[in-house]
Amino acid sequence: MTWGEQTAPEDGWRQIDTALAHGINLIDTAEMYPTNPMRAETSGDTERVIGNWPSIKKRRDELIIATKVTGEGHKFVREGAPISASTIQSAVENSLRAMNTDYIDIYQLHWPNRGSYMFRKNWQYDPTGQDSAAFYDHVDEVLDQMDELVKAGKIRYFGLSNESAWGTYVCLGAGSQGAKPATCGKYPE
């Protein structure tokens, strides 16, 4: 999350080469990185450092690349739009282009639209007033979009980052059953 801001591209490339030489093959990034500080001028540069790594095309099969679609509120990324089927589609295409690759190994939601306990902007998060029905619809929309991207070969797996236990349970239940999780005939409360 520092490549392109605190870490120069050449140093990032050296880190990738060194990691691979020592058996480390997972790169975890996000479309919004680098983060310290977050600036419009550098937003997305970490993925571009990966995509400009001189060995990306000849060594891509040695890497597991994970990246994330940015959640709501970061004005430098899609003007702060929340996660939706259309923002996921756009973000995946942008990430593929930035990282100079045909597929993403693991694609994650960076944080839920409804809020979370993570990140400074959400310290006061209160889940009691959330619209659960809207969240269930959102989960269905996201899972459908992720399924399409897997079938298209653009992502191999998808997951969650910075999600609550409840949100993870809902997503896992919906994904494993192909429908809303069965808890007394409805989503868990």
Q: Which residues are catalytic?
A: 33
DSSP string spanning the chain?
A: --BTTTB-HHHHHHHHHHHHHTT--EEE--TT---SS--TTTTTHHHHHHHH-TTHHHHGGG-EEEEEE--TT-TTTGGGPPP-HHHHHHHHHHHHHHTT-S-EEEEEESS-TT--S-SGGGTT--GGG--HHHHHHHHHHHHHHHHHHHHTTSEEEEEESS--HHHHHHHHHHHHHTSS--BTTB---
